[in-house]
Structure 1
Amino acid sequence: MYADRSDCTPFLVSACGSGPPGTPAVRPPVATPAPTTTVGLRLPLNVYLPTVGEQATGEYLVYRVQQHCMRGYGVRYLPHLSSDYIGTTVATWREYESRRYGISERTIAARRGYHLGEEPSGTRAPQVSTALSVPEREVLSGRAPDGRRMTTPVQNQDVPDGGCAGLAERTVHGDRTAKAQRGYDLVARLRGEAFDRSRSDPRVAAVNRKWSSCMRGKGFTYRDPDAAIEDPRWNLLSARPSRAEVAVATADIA
């Protein structure tokens, strides 16, 4: 129950937060919210990682430096790259993170099934490095096909250490230390371990059983939400979902 300060008696006054100066106030309990969606889900370990906006912006800036560097060697690289990339990437990552425990957006499920939401109109994916020729990839990576560092000038210019990709990383992120990288790796490992533990929690197992029973009542047999998403009948890389996929996804949400 929430604390009612009107019930404070003299001998309980300090517990009610009205004690002598310097006595820390006791905060009333706060009810745990019951979410109806996992969009915007905040996980405790995420405070040790860059936000999705920071990650997307950093990725875009790395691409921009790569593009400028490659242009200096006469290579037209990432011709469709624009600042729209940041917004599109943020939207995709946020939706992906919202599916940590299964889909939760009713409107997307009704329109897209288990497919990710459609990208904003007018955006085009940047060119991928595999579309480059072998000599162009050497400039990007700074490595010859046999893995050796490039020492031969290109367009009468030396190729930077690590190629244009290495130059871009250093320009945007600086020289990340091995200690910092170990920190990122640690957080990623802890996130994975926490997720695995949550799946084996008896409370989660009980909810999954209730979910599975509900789905059977709608004519679909799956042990848990992951099994529905991973149904081999769904081609999640296709442009549009099948009617069967939409039917399962909307029942899942319900």
Structure 2
Amino acid sequence: MCLALAAALLGCSSGGGSGEGDGPAVASESPAVSVGEPTERLVSYTSRLPIAQFSYTEAENTAIDSAQQLLTQHCMNAYGIAYEPMEPDRQTSESADRRYGVSSLNEAARYGYHPNPATLRDDQVDIPKEALPVFYGKRGAPQGSGPDVVYKGKKVPDAGCFGQSVGKLSQYDDPDGAAVASRIATGSFQESLDDPAVKDVFREWSSCMRKAGFHYASPNEPLNKSEFQGGEVISAQERKTAVADVRCKETTGLLNVWFNAESAIQRAHIQANAKALQGLRAAHREKAAEARRILAEG
């Protein structure tokens, strides 16, 4: 799939912490909370950050993904293999933005710190097992190394049909510009943690959480707590913590304060790297235009 630069905007954080009142996981117990309106308004922070303007648009992503799938289908058909292109990977509006951790009461009450299942994509390739080498080629081997992959007497591209299709469009990529944008997107998150306004609102959030019975210094601590990571079981304690987390963010205005602080940091970096970022944007447009041309030709 085409990897949008917007993916790089997902903030990552580190930190651990122990919340007071932590108990054993209880999968069957539901938190005694009111989870907000069914039509809860979900706010996107990642897509509104200044660096997002240098990502692919959703329409461009769709065009590029679709073109890659079409080229893959043509290649697979050349080997006599029926291949139905996967649906383009689209940004979902069914889940709240989590750049700054959980931000939806409804999701916190249902999933705690686990991801909303609606955001998980199944990229299982629906082709016969014996035909997988045609799709993947020398999967896992450096380009050009190892024996050739042959299917019914016909050599398969080293990168496989899908890799070859991705490569056809990757010639329009701007790795240097993408590296600059990615560095800004990830670095601004870390820099924002040292912003005075963010530190102040973290203290307010922490105080709010203490009143609810949870001791955490910052929203990153429960988000990265090992007990709340992985596995299919979501404990009642995790849900209760997540709900308190979101409510305290709402009470203190933490999400907007954090977003505004990071936005200011990004604007300064964007101004300092204007030439590289404009080149990246031009490369994106060129790649999307080529993808639309491929789709038009069928």
* TM-score interval (norm. to shorter): 0.5 to 0.7
Residue 190 (structure 2) pairs with residue 175 (structure 1): no
Q: For each residue in 1:174-227, what CA deviation from the matched residue of structure 2 results, as whole angstroms up to 9, or x when unmatched?
A: 5235xx111111100111111111011121111111111111111111121111
1:163 counterpart (155, 160, 171): 160
Q: For each residue in 1:66-108, what CA deviation from the matched residue of structure 2 results, as whole angstroms up to 9, or x when unmatched?
A: 355345446676x7x643x534xx118x847x21112211221
Q: Residues 150 and 159 of structure 1 are in contact (CA less than 8 Å); yes or no, is this contact kept in structure 2?
A: no
Aligned mates of 1:144, 1:236 — CA distance in 2: 26
CA apart distance, 1:37: 6.0
Query: 1:176 is matched by which residue type in structure 2?
Result: Y
Percentage of matched positions with identical amino acids: 28
Please tell me whether Structure 1 or Structure 2 has the larger radius of gyration of its CA atoms: 1
More helix by share: 2
Q: Which residue of 2 aligns with 1:245?
A: 238
Q: Residues 138 and 145 of structure 1 are in contact (CA less than 8 Å); yes or no, is this contact kept in structure 2?
A: no
Unaligned runs of 5+ in 2: 1-40, 248-298
Question: CA 1:110–1:64 in structure 2 vs 1: closer, same or farther (change >3 Å)?
Answer: farther
Secondary structure of residue in 2 paired with 1:227: helix
Aligned mates of 2:194, 2:69 — CA distance in 1: 40
Question: CA 1:163–1:118 in structure 2 vs 1: closer, same or farther (change >3 Å)?
Answer: closer
CA apart distance, 1:64: 4.9
Q: Residues 215 and 222 of structure 1 are in contact (CA less than 8 Å); yes or no, is this contact kept in structure 2?
A: yes
- Counting only pairs closer than 5 Å after superposition, residues 70-85 of structure 1 correspond to structure 2 as 70-73=76-79, 82-83=86-87, 85=88
Query: 2:102 is matched by which residue type in structure 1?
Result: I
Q: For each residue in 1:223-242, what CA deviation from the matched residue of structure 2 results, as whole angstroms up to 9, or x when unmatched?
A: 2111111111114452x522
- Counting only pairs closer than 5 Å after superposition, residues 105-120 of structure 1 correspond to structure 2 as 105-119=104-118
CA apart distance, 1:54: 3.2
CA apart distance, 1:132: 5.6
Q: Residues 228 and 234 of structure 2 are in contact (CA less than 8 Å); yes or no, is this contact kept in structure 1?
A: yes
Q: Residues 150 and 156 of structure 2 are in contact (CA less than 8 Å); yes or no, is this contact kept in structure 1?
A: yes
Q: Residues 65 and 168 of structure 1 are in contact (CA less than 8 Å); yes or no, is this contact kept in structure 2?
A: yes
Q: Which residue of 2 aligns with 1:48?
A: 54
CA apart distance, 1:146: 7.4
Query: 2:51 is matched by which residue type in structure 1?
Result: L
Aligned mates of 1:102, 1:165 — CA distance in 2: 34
Aligned mates of 1:113, 1:60 — CA distance in 2: 34
Aligned mates of 1:82, 1:144 — CA distance in 2: 22
**For structure 1, which segment, 221-230 or 68-77, has the greater mean C-alpha deviation from structure 2 after superposition?**
68-77
Secondary structure of residue in 2 paired with 1:183: helix
Unaligned runs of 5+ in 1: 1-35
Runs of 4+ in 1 over 6 A off after TM superposition: none
Q: Which residue of 2 aligns with 1:27?
A: none
Aligned mates of 2:163, 2:63 — CA distance in 1: 17
Aligned mates of 2:65, 2:211 — CA distance in 1: 45
Question: CA 1:237–1:67 in structure 2 vs 1: closer, same or farther (change >3 Å)?
Answer: farther
Q: Which residue of 2 aligns with 1:91?
A: 92
Question: CA 1:146–1:182 in structure 2 vs 1: closer, same or farther (change >3 Å)?
Answer: closer
Secondary structure of residue in 2 paired with 1:119: helix
Higher relative contact order (CA 8 A, sep 6+): 2
Question: CA 1:64–1:215 in structure 2 vs 1: closer, same or farther (change >3 Å)?
Answer: farther
Question: CA 1:229–1:64 in structure 2 vs 1: closer, same or farther (change >3 Å)?
Answer: farther
Q: Which residue of 1 aligns with 2:208?
A: 214
Question: CA 1:139–1:100 in structure 2 vs 1: closer, same or farther (change >3 Å)?
Answer: closer
Question: CA 1:162–1:146 in structure 2 vs 1: closer, same or farther (change >3 Å)?
Answer: closer
The alignment's TM-score, normalised by the length of structure 2, stands at: 0.56
| C-alpha RMSD over aligned residues | 3.5
Q: Residues 235 and 241 of structure 1 are in contact (CA less than 8 Å); yes or no, is this contact kept in structure 2?
A: no
Aligned mates of 1:160, 1:252 — CA distance in 2: 50
The alignment's TM-score, normalised by the length of structure 1, stands at: 0.65
